[in-house]
C-alpha cells in the first residue's frame, strides 16, 4: 500500500486524525451515588477515539482549527473539541456508570472529582523519538505518547492523593482505560510509504508498550482495567479513498473493506489479546478486560440497517467535500472550505471519513460495554441509568 503524501501539512493533519474529542462543560448523570461495581471515577489514556479536549488545548494557533468549529459538534449544538459530531464512547460509558463526562487533563478550572481524561488525539503508544527517524518523519507538535500520558496520570494522582496508600484506595474505586492507542504508530509509518509487511514489524513494540502501561497502572493499585484493540481500518472511508486508485476488486471483502488492512489490524489485536491474557494471569486479584473494537464494529457494519443506519452510506463520510464514493478527500477534509456535513449524521457510521458519528459511537458502546465484546464482562451498571 502506497500512502506517501504529496503535502506534508495535509498528511500530518490526516495522520493526527487517523488515530483512531471534549464536552468540557456539560455533564451526564449525577455522580452522587457510587456507580456500577462501586466505580466512582474513570481515568482514560488514549488517542482521538477518546480525547475529550486535550489536543485543542495545547495545539498552537492555526493547527487543528477544523475541530474547534462547526460542523464538528453539530449534533451536540456547538463544537467541543471532539473529533465527531457529538459524543464519544467514553462519554456514553461515563453516563451509563452514573458519572460526569471526563474533563481533559489540560483543561483549566475543571472538576476532576470523578476522573480525568489524559487521551490526546494524534498520540502514539511508542514514544515518537524512540520509534521514528526524526526529523525525517513529521509528527504532530501536540502529540503526546502513552509514556507522557502515564506520567500525567501518576503526577495527578500523587498531587491529588499524596501517599501510595491513598492512591491505591482511589484506584480501587476507579476504572482505568488504557487505549485505544497504537493506531497512530502505524499511521505515521504508513506515511513514510512503508508497505504493510514492514509496518507489521512495529506490532510487537506497540503491544509491549500498551501492556507495559497497563501493568504500571495495575501495580499502582488499579483493580479494573480495560485495554481496547484496534478497529478494522480497512473499512474506514479515509483509507478506502486513499487506496481506491491502486486497489483491485480482489483486494476487497464482501463488505467492501480492504482485506490487507483488516488483516493487519487483526494481527495487532491477536497479539494484544494474548498479552492481555498474560496480564489476567499475572494479576488474578484485578479485573482486566479486552475491549473488542474490531468485531463489534464489523457487527455494526454488517447489521447497519437494524441499528438504524443507512446501509448505503456505511462506507461514506457524513462530512466531506462530496468526493467519490467515500465522500473523502484528504486535501479537503471535514471543516475545510468547500466541505459540508450531511443532513442527518445519525444515519452514518463515519463522521469525517476517519472518526465515527455520535450515533455510531453510541451503538459501539452498547455492543461493547453492555454486550459480548468486553471480554470478560467486568462492568455492571446502575439500573436507573440503563443503556444510553
| Catalytic machinery residues | 48, 352, 355
Contact 208, 157 (CB under 8 A): no
Q: Which helix (H) or strand (E) holds 188?
A: helix 183-190
Q: Cα–Cα distance between 85 and 67 in angstroms, integer?
A: 10
Count CA atoms within 13 Å of residue 134 on its CB side.
10
The cell numbers describing 333, all together, are 477534509
Q: Is 4 exposed, middle or buried (0-12, 13-18, 19+ CB in 10 A)?
A: exposed
Q: Cα–Cα distance between 197 and 84 in angstroms, integer?
A: 31
Q: Cα–Cα distance between 48 and 209 in angstroms, integer?
A: 18
Q: Cα–Cα distance between 280 and 237 in angstroms, integer?
A: 35
Q: Cα–Cα distance between 293 and 295 in angstroms, integer?
A: 6
Amino acid at each position: 500500500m502506497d500512502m506517501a503524501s504529496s503535502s506534508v501539512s495535509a498528511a500530518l493533519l490526516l495522520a493526527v486524525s487517523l488515530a483512531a474529542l471534549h464536552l468540557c462543560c456539560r455533564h451526564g448523570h449525577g455522580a452522587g451515588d457510587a456507580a456500577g461495581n462501586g466505580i466512582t471515577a474513570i481515568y482514560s489514556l488514549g488517542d482521538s477515539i477518546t480525547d475529550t479536549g486535550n489536543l485543542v488545548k495545547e495545539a498552537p494557533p492555526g493547527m487543528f482549527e477544523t475541530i474547534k468549529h462547526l460542523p464538528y459538534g453539530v449534533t451536540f449544538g456547538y463544537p467541543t473539541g471532539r473529533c465527531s459530531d457529538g459524543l464519544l464512547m467514553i462519554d456514553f460509558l461515563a453516563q451509563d456508570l452514573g458519572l460526569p463526562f471526563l474533563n481533559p487533563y489540560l483543561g483549566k478550572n475543571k472538576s476532576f472529582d470523578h476522573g480525568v481524561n489524559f487521551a490526546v488525539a494524534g498520540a502514539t503508544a511508542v514514544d515518537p523519538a524512540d520509534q521514528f527517524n526524526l526529523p525525517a518523519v513529521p509528527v504532530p507538535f501536540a502529540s503526546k505518547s502513552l509514556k507522557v500520558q502515564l506520567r500525567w496520570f501518576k503526577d495527578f494522582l500523587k498531587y491529588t492523593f499524596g501517599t501510595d496508600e491513598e492512591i491505591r484506595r482511589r484506584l480501587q474505586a476507579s476504572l482505568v482505560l488504557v487505549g485505544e492507542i497504537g493506531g497512530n504508530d502505524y499511521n505515521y509509518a504508513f506515511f513514510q510509504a512503508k508497505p504493510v509487511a514492514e509496518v507489521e514489524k512495529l506490532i510487537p513494540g506497540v503491544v509491549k508498550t500498551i501492556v507495559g502501561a497497563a501493568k504500571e497502572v495495575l501495580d499502582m493499585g488499579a483493580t479494573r482495567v480495560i485495554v481496547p484493540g484496534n478497529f478494522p481500518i480497512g473499512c474506514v472511508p479515509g483509507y478506502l479513498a486513499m487506496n481506491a486508485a491502486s486497489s483491485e476488486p480482489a483486494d476487497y471483502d464482501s463488505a467492501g473493506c480492504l482485506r490487507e488492512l483488516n488483516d493487519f489490524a487483526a494481527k495487532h489485536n491477536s497479539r494484544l489479546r494474548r498479552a492481555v491474557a498474560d496480564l489476567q494471569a499475572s494479576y488474578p486479584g484485578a479485573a482486566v478486560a479486552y475491549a473488542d473494537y474490531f468485531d463489534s464494529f464489523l457487527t455494526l457494519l454488517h447489521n447497519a440497517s437494524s441499528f438504524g443506519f443507512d446501509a448505503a452510506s456505511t462506507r461514506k463520510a457524513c462530512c466531506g467535500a462530496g468526493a467519490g464514493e467515500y465522500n473523502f478527500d484528504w486535501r479537503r477534509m471535514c471543516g475545510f472550505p468547500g466541505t459540508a456535513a450531511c443532513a442527518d449524521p445519525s444515519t452514518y457510521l463515519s463522521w469525517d471519513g476517519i472518526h465515527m458519528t455520535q450515533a455510531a459511537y453510541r451503538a459501539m458502546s452498547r455492543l461493547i460495554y453492555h454486550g459480548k465484546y468486553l471480554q470478560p464482562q467486568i462492568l455492571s451498571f446502575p439500573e436507573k441509568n440503563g443503556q444510553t
